[in-house]
Amino acid sequence: MNKGFFITVEGGEGAGKTTAIASILAEIREQGLEPIATREPGGIAIAEQIRAIVLDNRHTAMDSRTEALLYAAARRQHLSEKVIPALESGRVVVCDRFIDSSLAYQGYARGLGMDEVFAINKFAIEGWMPDLTLYLDVSPEVGLARIRSDRNRELNRLDLEALQFHQKVRDGYEEVLRRYSERVQRIDAEQAPDKVASQIRRIVNQWLRGRV
């Protein structure tokens, strides 16, 4: 039985997920809960190794379906090893990316089809969908400019895709929003950072109210 809450954060490159997660964690702690923060692909050793393969800049030969399967495999391991046990023990899990990334990036932007990508993920997640998803919406021009000016961030294989690809990712997320309007909340991530942070805290606060 799912006793905890599963919150995911989504967005294109440079949307500000790391800062957003800090706000989410702060708000959850304010409600007296101790959240677990994790990320995809990764979060545990096996999935971090899959991450290294899938994001390696040298792997330009990677087939789109292989890419989708690797993300789904990393998701499965992370879910079974870390997320499900935490949720079952009543924890709030905040995850940087989950299935919506695969729908937007592989399903839509790579052109594999959202339904096809959902199907392989259905096998991987066995119904463990997020309870709440915050989608940080930023134009690819602004997002890519942010990551290029961040000296601490190494550009990975997907970052290096053309602007057009990142525009498709954004269109993919729009479709995710349409399909899952009850679960996914859109945040304008081009606003001033303090506005983004306060909007996030408000959403999380309202969502948790009545549930804890």
5-11: strand order across its sheet = 36-39, 92-96, 5-11, 132-137, 184-188
The region of 84-92, 101-109, 177-185, 191-199 touching ligand TMP under the rule CB under 6 A is 101-109
Of the candidate residues 76, 97, 166, 170, the single one contacting ligand TMP (CB under 6 A): 97
Cβ atoms within 10 Å of 46's Cβ, excluding its own: 15
HSE-CB for 41 with a 13 A CA cutoff: 25
Q: Determine, following the binding rule CB under 6 A, whether residue 6 of this chain makes contact with ligand TMP.
A: no
Q: Determine, following the binding rule CB under 6 A, whether residue 4 of this chain makes contact with ligand TMP.
A: no
The span from the CA of 91 to the CA of 34, in Å, is 7
Of the candidate residues 8, 77, 102, 133, the single one contacting ligand TMP (CB under 6 A): 102
Of the candidate residues 10, 27, 40, 137, the single one contacting ligand TMP (CB under 6 A): 40
Q: How many residues sit in the footprint of ligand TMP (CB under 6 A)? A: 10
- Residue 45: helix, strand or coil by DSSP? helix
Q: Which residues bind ligand TMP (CB under 6 A)?
A: 13, 40-41, 71, 97, 101-102, 105-106, 158
